[in-house]
Amino acid sequence: MFYLTGGHVWVTARPKEVRTVKQIKGDRSLFPYPSAWYCIDDVRTLAPGELKHFSLCGEDIVYFRTESGELAAMEAYCPHMGANFGHGGKVIGEHVQCPFHGFEFGTDGRCAKVPESKGVPKLKARTLHTDLVMDHLFVWYDYLGRPPSFRLQLWDHPLVSTLSTSITMRTHPQELAENGSDLRHFRFLHHNNFRMLRAEADPERPHVFRTTLKGKIFEESSGRQFQRDLLAAEVDIAMNGLGFLAARCDLYKVGVVNQYLACGTPLNEHETVLRIITAFEEIQDFGTFVPGFRRLPGSGWLQSKMQRPVAKLFTKLMFDDVVAVQLEDRDVWHHKIHRSERKGLDRSVVQFRKWAEQFYPNGDPYLSLAEADALPDVSLEAVRASA
């Protein structure tokens, strides 16, 4: 296009057609807080009389160990006038004391003592259901205040030498949990040669999704060929809800078994803490681990002495590998968005997503917080309340 002004000829280009990006049909954000058992902390170092605070699903909670050793968790705000137990409160015997007026509350949440008063008001702090797994405290959270629908389960074997760490990232707990059923990413991103033997909801425990993988653990690009050949494994993964991935890794060539947890706990709508925990099962027969061991004099005594050093060695080896794999995933999780469209997904991932729907309010993974608040037959007092 040409036009003339002030003796100059100006040329302008025809504006290009602006095209909008077509949104994938059904693309929506996941509801941020599925009902789950969420890992709070490693409590091996939580001393009697110690209290700590934590942000869980956008809410402040406190957890503590009483003087007698009992573990408990509750809402951080005093039911009297709202002071935060986590900022100045303390444990007095078997009670938590409010930093504002000194009211004391038992592990059941009930007010037990008021300074300079013979009577106590009928006040009750909101308590949380707790569980202890591998020396880590888990609490049950349900946006609509429903009680736990299942209990956490591990394989019933004595464990030796536990290691633990945590990583915070901008993602959703389901994105973390979905990894266990996504074989394609194991092959492409982690360069493992796993093959999938099973991926389905447990018919006897509907809250559990089972995946079984078999192959070599270490990546082909690691340069540790000896370790890769030695550490072939069958991995049995059991998702107990969306906050608790438990895996039993049978290193059948060396005769030892590792158990590890990968647990995603939402701090708020955008951030999730991934807690990684590993431990080894007690080695019952070193004859499998060391060829010819049974023929050695005093093999029973040696087994008792070698148990912990061997467990520590393999725990550290597996722990480092599990953490390294999760760090590779972190870069993807941190920047990805959730795609609700199921076209092109592997069958195992589709099955996983169908199974996961049960952990959301009204069975809808794509509700907004406002929509969840407006669900029928839910009182305002019940919303965001734990059982």
pLDDT (tens digit per residue) in 87-117: 999 999 999 999 999 999 999 999 999 998 8
109-118, 337-346, 352-361: least confident range: 337-346
Measured CA to CA, the distance from residue 326 to residue 273 in angstroms comes to 12
Between CA 160 and CA 315 the distance in angstroms is: 9
200 and 284 assigned to the same domain: yes
Q: Report yes or no: 141 and 35 within 8 Å, Cβ to Cβ.
A: yes
Are 122 and 167 contained in the same domain?
Answer: no
pLDDT confidence tier of residue 12, bands split at 50, 70 and 90: very low
230 pLDDT tier (thresholds 50, 70, 90)? low
CA distance 179 to 183: 8
**pTM of the entire structure?**
0.84
Percent of the chain beyond pLDDT 70?
Answer: 80
Q: Which residue has the higher pLDDT, 306 or 126?
A: 126
Within a domain: 23: no
CA 272 to CA 164: how far, in whole Å? Answer: 16
Q: 380 or 69, which is more confident?
A: 69
54 and 122 in a single domain? The answer is yes
Tell me the residue range of the domain where 114 lies.
Answer: 36-141
Looking at the structure, tell me whether residues 298 and 332 fall in a common domain: yes
The band of 139, judged by pLDDT with boundaries at 50, 70 and 90, is: very high
> Quick check: 245 pLDDT over 50?
yes
Decide which of 305 and 276 is more confident: 276
pLDDT above 80: residue 185 = yes
Please say if the pLDDT value at position 83 is more than 60: yes
Are 179 and 329 spatial neighbours (Cβ–Cβ below 8 Å)? yes
Q: What is the pLDDT of residue 320?
A: 87
Do 321 and 257 lie in one domain? The reply is yes
3-class DSSP string for 73-101:
EEECECCCCCCECCCCCEEECCEEECCCC
Check if the beta carbon of residue 281 is closer than 8 Å to that of residue 158.
yes
- Give the pLDDT band (50/70/90) at residue 385: very low
- Kindly provide the residue ranges of all beta strands, DSSP E only, lying in 25-70, ordered along the sequence: 36-42, 51-56, 59-65
Tell me, yes or no, whether 385 lies in a domain.
no
Inform me whether the pLDDT recorded for 313 exceeds 50: yes
Beta strands 8-11 and 111-113: pairing type? Answer: unpaired
Nearest alpha carbon to residue 77 among 64, 62, 93, 94 = 62
How far apart CA 280 and CA 160 sit, in angstroms, is 5
342: pLDDT confidence band, cut at 50, 70 and 90? confident
Other C-beta atoms within 10 Å of 279: how many?
23
Are 184 and 60 within one domain? no
Query: What's the average model confidence in pLDDT over 58-62?
Result: 96
Separation of alpha carbons 9 and 106, rounded Å: 85
| Residue 387 reports pLDDT greater than 80 | no
What would the pLDDT profile of 188-216 be if each residue is shown by its tens digit? Answer: 888 888 889 999 999 999 999 999 999 87
Q: Which of 8-22, 268-282, 347-361 has the lowest mean pLDDT?
A: 8-22
Q: In this structure, are 316 and 208 located in the same domain?
A: yes
Across 301-328, average pLDDT = 76
Mean pLDDT of 181-193: 86
User: For the sheet containing 95-97, what is the strand order?
Assistant: 90-92, 95-97, 104-105, 111-113
Query: Could you tell me the two tokens for 180?
Result: 């266990």
Around 177, how many Cα atoms within 13 Å sit in the side-chain half-sphere? 31
If one counts the domains in the chain, the total is 2
Domain presence at residue 370 = no
In a domain, 109, yes or no: yes
256 vs 85, which has greater pLDDT? 85
What are the strands, taking DSSP E only, across 252-306?
Answer: 256-266, 272-281
pLDDT score for 343: 86
CA distance 239 to 356: 10
pLDDT of residue 378: 43
Q: In a 3-state reduction of DSSP, which class is residue 362?
A: helix
Per the CB < 8 A criterion, the answer to whether 94 and 70 are in contact is yes
| Contact assessment for residue 295 and residue 245, using Cβ atoms and an 8 Å cutoff | no
19-23, 271-275, 342-346, 373-377: least confident range:
19-23
Reduce the DSSP state of residue 353 to 3 states and report it. Answer: helix
CATH number where 337 lies: 3.90.380.10
Q: What is the DSSP string of 133-178?
A: ETTEEEEEE-TT-PPPSS-----S--EEEEEEEEEEESS-HHHHHH
